[in-house]
Chains A and B, each alone.
Chain A
Amino acid sequence: EAGVVQSPRYKIIEKKQPVAFWCNPISGHNTLYWYLQNLGQGPELLIRYENEEAVDDSQLPKDRFSAERLKGVDSTLKIQPAELGDSAVYLCASSLGSGTSGRTDTQYFGPGTRLTVL
């Protein structure tokens, strides 16, 4: 079974330029997450989708970041314009759902996109 697919794996851009990341979750997984990981830190949630609906985007910097999950399958995260501080690894994860009966479903991560803003 294929895991979470992300592209590109690496991206180098000049500041103020736009950039987009793509994610295809594990087949059948309804919940999709975008995380940000800085060097030496654990991942931090940016946005969570239940099917095509963004149900938690409180940590997404909405002035420059946007995301979409059309048709409830793959997803795109965009930054426009990029700033130097956006350099990080952007991780996509998916899970069957959010969980039931007080148990959270396991999240499976993709390989990430390493963004460098110059």
Chain B
Amino acid sequence: EDQVTQSPEALRLQEGESSSLNCSYTVSGLRGLFWYRQDPGKGPEFLFTLYSAGEEKEKERLKATLTKKESFLHITAPKPEDSATYLCAVPNQAGTALIFGKGTTLSVSS
């Protein structure tokens, strides 16, 4: 069964304290791994797509990396405005739908 597991469920950081979020997946023939950010009361906002093991993408304080079994979202020197839920998703084996993890809720305090 295709699955996506995110850890930790919740993460509290001080402003400037760097950390990483993990997304592990079990799906054959990966057709992409997607990271989204979701703020309360809003829809998921697209951040990154990774297609190949070893691929990395960066956006401001965020950097996403991909291996054959997991992806990491590294947050460098976070600010309070980075507080949100970060969702990871992979396409199912048929490529017809995204399977989402439950997300990691990040809280950054000043």
Contact = CB atoms under 8 A, between A and B. Distances in A.
B34 A106 contact: yes
A108 B91 contact: no
B74 interface: no
Interface in B43-101: 43-46, 49, 51, 87, 89, 91, 95-98, 100-101
Nearest to B101: A42
Nearest to A91: B43
A13 B101 CA distance: 29
A109 interface: yes
Contacts of A110: 43
B: interface residue count bin = 20 to 34
Task: Label chain A's interface by main secondary structure.
Answer: strand
Interface residues of A, number: 27
A114 B43 CA distance: 11
A42 B99 CA distance: 8
Interface of B: 4, 29, 31-32, 34, 36, 41-46, 49, 51, 87, 89, 91, 95-98, 100-103
Given A48-B97, A91-B44, A104-B31, 6 more contacts: A41-B100, A41-B102, A43-B100, A45-B98, A99-B32, A112-B42
Interface of A: 4, 6, 33, 40-45, 48, 55-56, 91, 93, 98-99, 102-104, 106-112, 114
